[in-house]
Structures are given as C-alpha cells and as structure tokens.
Amino acid sequence: NYKVDINNVKENIPPTLWGLFFEDINRSGDGGIYAELIKNRSFDFPDPYMGWKLDPPRHMYAKHEIFQVINQSAVNENNPKYLQVTINNPEKISLANEGFGGITVKKGMGYELTVVYRQKTSGINLKFELINAENKSVGSTTIKPSSTDNEWQTVKAIITTKDTIIKGKLLLNFEGTGKIDLDRISLFPSDTWMNRKGGLRNDLVQDLYDIHPGFLRFPGGCIVEGKTPNTRYQWKTTIGPLEQRKLISNQWQEGAAGKPLPDYFQSFGLGFYEYFQLCEDLKAAALPILNCGLSCQFDAAEVVPMDEMSSYVQDALDLIEFANGDVTTAWGKKRAALGHPESFNMKMLGIGNENWGPQYIERLELFREAIKTKYPYMQLICATGYSPNPQFHFMDSALRKMNVDIIDEHYYQTANWFLMNASKYDHYDRKGPKIFLGEYACMSTRIGSPENKNTLFCALAEAAFMTGVERNADIICMAAYAPLFAHVKDWQWTPNLIWFDNSTSFRTPSYYVQQLFSMNKGTSMASITENGNVIAGSDSIWASAVIDKHTGEVIIKLVNPSGKGKAKKIEVPQLGNSKSTATITVLKADDGNAMNSLGQPLNVVPVSSTIPINNRTISVALPKYSFSVIKIRS
C-alpha cells in the first residue's frame, strides 16, 4: 500500500515552481507569437528586398529605375533603410510581401495595415490587396497619401477579408505617378491578445495562459549570448517606438540542429516591455536573463575584456530600474512613458545563459557586487553551462563557494535519464543555493533531429522526474520545459512544448504534463511512501503528494510509464472518514509513442472522472503509459 502523510507537511511550495521558458527559436517570436504578418516590414534586413518581390518580375535595370533602397544609417542608426519609389510613367507595378511562409488570414476579420510614408512628389496611391494562392483578392484598401511636407507620416487602414487564406501574400499596387518614400509596412490581425495593437497572437498566448505558469523566463536561451557580443540580445534596443528598435539577425538563423533560416531576424516588436507586460497578463513572475560578457560558447565564444564590462553591468542595473524604479528615476520614467507607471515588481535576474568556466565566474562577480549593493533583494540566477557539461562540477562547486542565490541547471536527456534521476535532488545540499531547472526536455532520439518526437512516453519520463522536483520543492524554486514553441515548418530544435502553424497550434503530451503539475502544484509538500520509502521507480511507478491550503485538497500524482497497467491502494490515514469520492485526471494512451499533431490535436489529452474512497483508502488502476492526478478534498 502507498501511504500519504498530510500531517507531516515539510515546506511551502514556491508559487513560482512551474513556469515557462521563452526564446525566439523555431520562429517563436517573429513569425510566431508576435502577430506581425509582414516579413522585413521596414526593409532593414541585410538584403532589403528579402520577403518582397516585384510583381510581375522585371529586369534589374527596370527595377532600379523605380525602386531605390536608401540607407541613412547616419540619421537613424537603429532603423536606417527605407524604400524610395519613383514612377514617371503610369504602368502596372506591384510589390508583394510573402509573409512568414505565406500570409494567413481568416474570413470576415479586420486586418490593421500601417504604412509609414514621406511624399516627395504627390500622385502615387497605394492599393493594398490580400491575395490568395489563386491570385484572387480577398480584401483591399487604398491609401491616398495626403501630406507633402517632407516629414514621415504614419497612416492606418483596415482590410476586411471576405475569405480565408492559408498561404497568400500582401500585394502593394502603385497607382499613378510621383515619388514616395516608404518605411514600415505592417499588417496585424485585429484579434490580438488583449486586443493590443501590434500585439501578440491570441491563440498562442492562450496556450501559455492555460498552463497558469508561475514565472516566465525570457528572452532565452542562446539568443541572450549571441554568436558574438555584437549580436547579443541588448534589452535597451528592444523598447520604445518601433523605429528605435534595432533589428539583428537571429541566433538560430544558421539552424543549429534543424534547418537554416536565412530570413530569420529579430525585429524586437516583441521586446522587453512586451515581455514584462506578458508576465503581468499571465500572472507570472518576470525572469529576464542578460548577457554576461561571453558570447555563445558553442560558437565563437568571444570574451568581453574585464575592463570593458561596465556597460554590461550598467545594462543590468538599468534594467532593474526600468522594471521597478519609480517614475522619478530615469528608467522608471521611460517605463511610465511607455504606459506602465507602476513597477513590474521584478525580483529575479539571470546573469548569462549557458555560460561556464572561470571567465564566467569573474564576470558574475562584477554583476553580483554591483547589483547586490544597489538592489540587495534581487535574486540572481547563475549559469552552469549545458548538461552533460564536463565543467558542471567545477561550476557547481564554484557557485556554491560564492554562495550564490540560485543555480541554473539544464537537462536535455533521454527518457531513461529522467526516470533514473527522479531522486537526484533528494540528496542535494539543503543549505546551499536554490536550484532553477532552467531548461529541460526528454528526447526520444537526438536533439534537433526530425525523428526526435514529443511522444507520450517522453512526457511521462518528464512527469516522473517532476515528481522528484516536487518532492524537493524546498530547494528547487523554479523549473521550465524548453523550448516552448516551434513552427511546424520552420523549426531548428526538437522537441518543443507547443507546435503551431500560421493559424493554429497543438499542445504536446509534455504540455499537458506541465499544465497538470502547474495547476495542481499545491501549497505545501506532503509525502507519499511505500514502506517508508519514496516512490521513485519501484514497480515502475513514480509518485509525489502535496496539499493545497487554499482549497483544502490533497493532491497525489502517479506516473506509470511502463507498458503494463498497475493496481495500487493509496491510504490517507488523516482523511476524514466521511470522504467517499476523489477526482482523478488521467493522461494516457495505449501506445507510449502516441502524440498530438495539427491534424489530431486531441489525441492525447487529460480526462477527468471520479473514483471512490473506502475507509480512507483509494484503490486505483494506473493504466499503462499514464500520468494520474488524484484530488481529494480533505
């Protein structure tokens, strides 16, 4: 028999325990959650025509007679390029934008078009059309530029669609003659998250919201480090008016594990302000990660000299002021000007992503000294590299010697590893730093390969491991699966928690495991044992138990990743005798290889029912390949 002890509760479970890791990998940001439909909207990609095509195509000479890309980097370093269009003879000339793998629109919806123009010689009207694969227009609008005062103007219009398009384009027809400069050409659906203009995709944020995450880590991942210091993520260039946000290439452009995407850039339409706002929407604690003066150690591994580190450290101090400072502070004032006078109440900050070695330790010291002096309450997350990392033990002991707040561990491992390591934290030092499981995911085969699938079995291995995390929530303060999102056509990494295309998404079995843990995290750690021992693999069952002081519930989690059903009796001696039923929610399938997909998004989903309690004991059948969550109101 299994015995649950709810009297001897050990510790409070941190409300942050189960959270999210966001990185713009696999087209998660631009082309993903950031709802912009136009690729290269400001002509600022290194190839300014990337994403744009002349329709009909014409010879280079004819093209250059009409279109010139002007690069005014001396005037606007962050957004230097724009397109100048000169038409002397009226003729049919169009530019088409291909969007991100095509432009997808829904029938009957409004799409907000924004155009930034400067008219040199009036006479050109701009007719925008949404075109389907058969070259038919499903909606259009014409902008007649009126201003001729040689200043940039922003004009908006709505295109309402009379049909759905799966893979279309936005056609810009130039009508008339004249000379006009065009900078941003942008198109957003009107049903963004919270109806914010230029905001995020509603369905994808809903996927996040439904997990009820305790924290959101952003903006990555390796993206924080950059291939070189020049292409590192710099939060200051991601806030404010869009034209001040400086586009850079995406760290994942070359593909790493998956396919290269030469058109993968970070426009930073989703920048640090939007991340903080998202945290607030999700009621998740904000956990930004900053570059620590080392570029990605899997790439060029460039090291910023110690005597040039001050601007990096200053960026961290300024970020804290931006998030928390009142409106009298320089950065607090900027936040207020963006629409958020209240503090974002940030309490944690990551220094470096997967960085390691003595170079990391000495740079970390600089950040720690400066941040703790000014903001002693700020909890710092410290990196250990990538596991299995030969330097892990060096890093772990160096960080423990420094008595840092929180150590960030990453695990991309096999199912066997997750199952065998579910007791790993039972033996960790309780007095040292807390642990942040900053990234983890079970791989069915090699990371990044197309064969590496989000199977139910992998999700169950993660669940088994997570019972160990829950049992050790006194030292593990946060944990996040990684990566979070992947576009089904444009991914570089496998596995991922949520897969999407341009209009919809599906949740993997791992998603449901995360959601079941997060929504049933409880408030205090109870225990479930068999003959006094933790249940971590004996008879192929892994288990944990918590209580929720707010709802009065006892919550028991049981994982059976084996191919055989098991019958177990669970006794809760301290339960009132009148209790006769509990609810049980089960995630299962007949085959451990079962998965969800865009076509079959609900193939593996949790299903709830009730189960009798007799004499404070539950007899439960744990199906093969299953994860069960039992809830009893005590």
For ligand AHR, the binding residues (CB under 6 A) are 23, 25, 220-222, 353-354, 386, 439, 482-483, 493
Distances (CA, A) of 214 to 283, 333, 504: 7, 28, 25
DSSP tally for the chain: helices H, then strands E:
10, 35
Which C-beta is closer to ligand AHR: that of 6 or that of 25? Answer: 25
Which C-beta is closer to ligand AHR: that of 148 or that of 298? Answer: 298
CA distance 466 to 517: 8
- Min CB(583)–ligand AHR separation in Å: 34
Q: Which residues pair with residue 476 across a beta bridge?
A: 435
Instruction: Name the strand (E) or helix (H) holding 588.
Output: strand 581-588
Which C-beta is closer to ligand AHR: that of 131 or that of 407? Answer: 407
Which C-beta is closer to ligand AHR: that of 331 or that of 386? Answer: 386
CA distance 366 to 472: 31
Which C-beta is closer to ligand AHR: that of 138 or that of 292? Answer: 292
Judge whether 257 and 451 are in contact, CB under 8 Å: no
CA atoms within 13 A on the CB side of 447: 14
- Min CB(413)–ligand AHR separation in Å: 12
- Min CB(474)–ligand AHR separation in Å: 26
SS3 label, residue 336 = helix
- In this structure, the chain runs to a length of 634
Nearest to 261 by CA among 49, 27, 40: 27
Compute the 3-state secondary structure of the chain and give helix, strand, coil in percent, each to the nearest 5.
Answer: 20, 35, 45
Which C-beta is closer to ligand AHR: that of 263 or that of 354? Answer: 354
Q: What is the DSSP string of 407-439?
A: EEEEEEEEHHHHHHTTTGGGGS-SSS-EEEEEE
- Min CB(530)–ligand AHR separation in Å: 36
Q: State which residue has the least CB distance to ligand AHR.
A: 221
Judge whether 197 and 188 are in contact, CB under 8 Å: yes
* Amino acid identity for residue 7 in this structure: N
Instruction: Name the strand (E) or helix (H) holding 456.
Output: helix 456-471
Which C-beta is closer to ligand AHR: that of 224 or that of 371? Answer: 224
- Min CB(114)–ligand AHR separation in Å: 32
CA distance 578 to 571: 14
Q: Which residues pair with residue 130 across a beta bridge?
A: 139, 170
Distances (CA, A) of 599 to 303, 504, 604: 46, 10, 13
Integer-rounded Cα Rg, in Å, for the chain is: 27
- Min CB(232)–ligand AHR separation in Å: 13
Q: Which residues pair with residue 544 across a beta bridge?
A: 557
What residues act catalytically?
354
- Min CB(248)–ligand AHR separation in Å: 16
Nearest to 109 by CA among 168, 166, 163: 163
Which C-beta is closer to ligand AHR: that of 51 or that of 221? Answer: 221
- Min CB(482)–ligand AHR separation in Å: 4
Q: Beta 248-249 vs 265-266: how paired, if at all?
A: antiparallel
